[in-house]
Structure 1
């Protein structure tokens, strides 16, 4: 009789353990299914949000570019230059206005943290290896090159006049830069305020190779983290792109623009927006790290 009782207890425990395991497995499967459905819903919702942004239209997808982090004109209609973000290969991608990869240019330099690309009126492009997440770099450089002869690369080395410590105190960490812009013989750098998200400092260096101390031009009241900069062809509208938003400054000259009050425009739902370039005075192309390519019409 005792043996039968023990057997019954053991059987009960085995059934209970089995039932508990099945319950946990079922619950886990249900949770996974809910997460997958939730993710799909969020993805659809995100797409709808992007589509709902006034004046913003998705025009393509970049499948061959790892985390697009900048946009620049190539000088040829219907195409742009873009590049990957921190940790990717030193490659310039030539893409169409629909995001299709047309060609690749292998640049014979190191890629520490490429963050921005800009182009001058003579066709030179300037690749900003100026990403500085920890505000501790002392090897900041802008690469100047002619896309027709990428083997000859010139280097613009720079440091910031007001940075004394590497890194500085946390509340002073405003020496990261993801936005550069060529204008009238200078390359302008707009910092990404990692400390307060209140101010983008604007510096400038000559567009010729050499070693420079970047001079601070001004400080802009930007309540966000700047990821790229674009100037309209007529020079009257400056866009400072940020993550899922942008700041628009307007004026009759570049000097006047830098004194203007920024107008904030939400791009919520458009992903991690990192690249921007004008194709005409009213059309801005925007890329994000997830591979989407948009146009924004002013």
Structure 2
């Protein structure tokens, strides 16, 4: 028979206390504290109270039961309405909503939804659906679908790869090829990456707005200490807003070139939830959606 020595009770208590102190703090409110996505659960009552205390932010509606996991926003053809959509795992559908979250109609898009993450519109009424979510930087089938709501059966495909990606996936510290934000500007679709490595930057790439297969050209890298989830450009072209998880980054300039060289101004929206979609309602007001279905207006300072 083998004898197992007894551990003194005092020592057991000391070891238990030490292990408890080593556990990570799971209640942090920082959206970028660990460089990872915010949890999808959490105390919704706490979030609601925190959101109510954010200056300039007001809840205007809900997308729950209407848009599954809203991941972006763009103006719809009818003034005052907007398009949204669900990300990976959801159908390839655009949902037209009012500014208060009422569902107007749905449009089925004849395209795959591997991981839709962004949506923008050009001046001629074409929409660009970014199927470029790439959490692990492993995808070789990145696409942007060019689509018109008045021709719902026709879709053009802009396929692309990143000019500086050599490995699929790269090492974890170098995974900056996930894109959840894009916008159309002057004949190009601009892509803003969501850094999942350690660069603490959003890389900016462009591809032409015409169907074809391209190598995305890297334009610049923005010092963004967060993970970009959407992009919106003001109508006058002088202000770019990059949405993050519970935060905003504002870049101002007299031209697009100046904007891309501007120092981002960071605004905390901690407590608003997992913010995923942003669009300008007017020059000083954003409409913001969350993955959980909350719809907010935010008055920009």
Fold shared by both chains (TM-score > 0.5): yes
Structure 1 counterpart of 2:140 = 138
Note the alpha carbon deviations across 1:22-64, whole angstroms, 9 max, x for none. Answer: xxxxxxxxxxxxxxxxxxx943332121011111111110121
* 1:259 aligns to 2:261 (yes or no): yes
Once residues 202 and 285 of structure 1 are traced to their aligned partners in structure 2, the CA distance between those partners, rounded to angstroms, is: 23
Q: Which runs of 4+ in 1 moved over 2 A?
A: 41-45
Structure 2 counterpart of 1:160 = 162
Once residues 75 and 253 of structure 1 are traced to their aligned partners in structure 2, the CA distance between those partners, rounded to angstroms, is: 26
1:94 counterpart SS class: strand
Alpha carbon RMSD of aligned pairs, Å?
1.1
1:151 counterpart SS class: coil
Structure 1 counterpart of 2:4 = none
Q: Return the match for 2:179 from 168, 177, 180.
A: 177
* 1:53 aligns to 2:54 (yes or no): yes
Q: Which has the higher helix share?
A: 1
User: 1:137-286 counterparts in 2 under 5 A?
Assistant: 137-196=139-198, 198-286=200-288
Q: Return the match for 1:128 from 120, 127, 130.
A: 130
Give the TM-score taking structure 1 as reference length: 0.85
Structure 1 counterpart of 2:91 = 89
* Residue 110 of structure 1, CA deviation: 0.9
Once residues 281 and 218 of structure 2 are traced to their aligned partners in structure 1, the CA distance between those partners, rounded to angstroms, is: 28
* Residue 197 of structure 1, CA deviation: 5.7
Structure 2 spans left out of the alignment, 5+ residues: 1-41
Structure 2 counterpart of 1:71 = 73
2:45 counterpart SS class: helix
Once residues 158 and 264 of structure 1 are traced to their aligned partners in structure 2, the CA distance between those partners, rounded to angstroms, is: 30
Native 8 Å contact 1:62 1:100 kept in 2 = yes
Structure 1 counterpart of 2:82 = 80
Once residues 85 and 51 of structure 1 are traced to their aligned partners in structure 2, the CA distance between those partners, rounded to angstroms, is: 27
Native 8 Å contact 1:127 1:142 kept in 2 = yes
Once residues 45 and 179 of structure 1 are traced to their aligned partners in structure 2, the CA distance between those partners, rounded to angstroms, is: 28
Structure 2 counterpart of 1:25 = none
Number of aligned positions between the proteins: 258
Native 8 Å contact 1:197 1:225 kept in 2 = no
Native 8 Å contact 2:60 2:296 kept in 1 = yes
Give the TM-score taking structure 2 as reference length: 0.84
